[in-house]
C-alpha cells in the first residue's frame, strides 16, 4: 500500500485566486513528481524533484511553482488561477525502483 497523499481531492476556485495543492509521502522517497492530466488524455510532467532543495521544470510549460523543503512534502502553487488551469493534478514519488501515485486533485477554475 502506497503512502502518498494529496489534498484536496476536489477544488473549485475563482479566477485570480492563489492555491496550493499539497502532496505528502511517508516512504522517505527522494524523487517526487507532479503531472497534469486532462480527462482521457496523457500525463504531462510539469515539475520534479530528486531531493530536498532540488526542483526542476518538466516537459510541459506550467505557470505553477513547487518547493521541496522537506523530503516528505512537495507542494504545488498557482499564484493566480485561470480557467486554463482546470485539470487533474497527480503527484508521485519514487525510490528509484517503483513509482507510486497519490489519488489526485481535480481542480476547476471558474
Partner 1 sequence: ELKVEQNPLFLSMQEGKNYTIYCNYSTTSDRLYWYRQDPGKSLESLFVLLSNGAVKQEGRLMASLDTKARLSTLHITAAVHDLSATYFCAVEGRYGGATNKLIFGTGTLLAVQP
Cell reading at 13: 476556485
74: nearest Cα among 13, 29, 16, 12: 29
Strands 10-13 and 105-109, bridge-based pairing: parallel
The residues of the shown chain that bind partner 1, judged by CB under 8 A, are 2, 31, 33, 35, 39-43, 45, 48, 50, 56, 58-59, 90, 92, 94, 96-104, 106
Q: Is the CB of 71 or the CB of 100 nearer to partner 1?
A: 100
Q: Is the CB of 29 or the CB of 85 nearer to partner 1?
A: 29
**Minimum CB separation from partner 1 for residue 80, in Å?**
27
What distance lies between CA 101 and its chain's CA centroid? 10
**Minimum CB separation from partner 1 for residue 42, in Å?**
5
Amino acid at each position: 500500500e502506497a503512502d502518498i497523499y494529496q489534498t484536496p481531492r476536489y477544488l473549485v476556485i475563482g479566477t485570480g485566486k492563489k492555491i496550493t495543492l499539497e502532496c505528502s509521502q511517508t516512504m522517505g522517497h527522494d524523487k517526487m513528481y507532479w503531472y497534469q492530466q486532462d480527462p482521457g488524455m496523457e500525463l504531462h510532467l510539469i515539475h520534479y524533484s530528486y531531493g530536498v532543495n532540488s526542483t526542476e521544470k518538466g516537459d510541459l510549460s506550467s505557470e505553477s511553482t513547487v518547493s521541496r523543503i522537506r523530503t516528505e512534502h512537495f507542494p504545488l502553487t498557482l499564484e493566480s488561477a485561470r480557467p486554463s488551469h482546470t485539470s487533474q493534478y497527480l503527484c508521485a514519488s519514487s525510490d528509484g525502483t517503483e513509482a507510486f501515485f497519490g489519488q489526485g486533485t481535480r481542480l476547476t477554475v471558474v
